[in-house]
Amino acid sequence: MTPFTPKLTEAGLNPNVSVDCVIFGFDGERLKVLLIDRDQVISAKGDEKIYALPGNLIKEDENLDEAAERVLFELTGLEDIFLEQFGSFGDPKRLTKEHDSQWLKQIRAHPEARVITVAYYSLIRADQYELHASGFAKDAIWHDIEELPPLGFDHSEIIESALKELKFKSKYQPIGFELLPEKFTLGQLQKLYEAILNIELDKRNFRRKILKMSFLTPLKEKQIGVPHKPARYYTFDRDKYQSYKSQDFYFTL
């Protein structure tokens, strides 16, 4: 029934501390969140599936950043993702919902242990990474941020908090960039900001402002096969961004 036998691998795990990853994905139009489908023997009442963020206990010999990276990879196959810690969640009752503790009994050596979780987030182009669910994740799926399914634990709260952080940060620093694919058009970038902030932006003003910061390098390459004037691709100049950042900058869109 369960091909994954987690309890045997619990050696070296700290029973009280986990990491959870809120991976935002952008598909060119809308903002998504990556959730895993728990392979639960006793499903919650009837047919309602309960999803969760990719997350698990940390190992005793790794730091928190390493744990987040490892756990994300183990459950979803995502690698080399820039992850940023944004908060920790430690309500004593955060794991005590009935179907959550049912599930923990399947996978944890100490299912009753109190667990504090350290949460990370990231933002990637959903279509540029392949997902490979494994471990106790039966599946790893993008869900639209506006219509999330029922979530286990306190993961709704964690996602909400991550989104708040993403909105705040992206308004005051060019956050899109540290988290962005290699090349992109300004139209895509604008849509990304519009999706994050949930507002509309003026095309001309956006382009002027974003280019003035001058850490976007225009490429010779343009879009091909699009049924409209092909847009130029840009790339993000990490060095120029760093010097801009160190100058105590701010910006507003």
* Residue selected from 30, 70, 207, 240 as contacting DNA according to rule CB under 7 A: 207
Min. distance of Cβ 15 from a copy of itself in angstroms? 8
Return the one option of a copy of itself, DNA, none that residue 204 interacts with (CB less than 5 to 8 A, by type): DNA
Give 128's DSSP letter: G
Choices 74-82, 113-121, 127-135, 230-238 (CB under 8 A): range interacting with a copy of itself: 113-121
Choices 30-38, 53-61, 103-111, 129-137 (CB under 8 A): range interacting with a copy of itself: 53-61
The token pair that represents 186 in the structure block: 């300004």
Contact status: 183 vs DNA (CB under 7 A): no
The secondary structure of the chain in percent helix, strand, coil, rounded to multiples of 5, reads 35, 25, 40
* Residue selected from 43, 102, 161, 185 as contacting DNA according to rule CB under 7 A: 185
Burial class (CB in 10 A: 0-12, 13-18, 19+), 234: buried
Please count the other Cβ atoms lying within 10 Å of the Cβ belonging to residue 172.
Answer: 12
Contact status: 87 vs a copy of itself (CB under 8 A): yes
Return the one option of a copy of itself, DNA, none that residue 109 interacts with (CB less than 5 to 8 A, by type): none
Min. distance of Cβ 252 from a copy of itself in angstroms? 6
Nearer to a copy of itself, 86 or 233 (CB): 86
The token pair that represents 168 in the structure block: 């705040």
C-alpha distances in Å from residue 100, one per residue of 13, 35, 97, 212: 19, 15, 5, 49
Contact status: 200 vs a copy of itself (CB under 8 A): no
Alpha carbon distance 142, 245 (integer Å): 31
Contact status: 62 vs a copy of itself (CB under 8 A): yes
Question: Phi and psi dihedrals of 90, rounded to 5?
Answer: -140, 30
Contact status: 247 vs DNA (CB under 7 A): no
Contact track, a copy of itself, 145-184, x by CB under 8 A: --------------------------xx------------
Instruction: Answer whether 6's CB lies under 8 Å from 148's CB.
Output: no
Give strand ranges (E) for 50-133. 51-52, 55-59, 84-89, 116-125
User: Which residues form the interface with DNA (CB under 7 A)?
Assistant: 185-188, 202-205, 207-209, 222, 224-232, 251-252
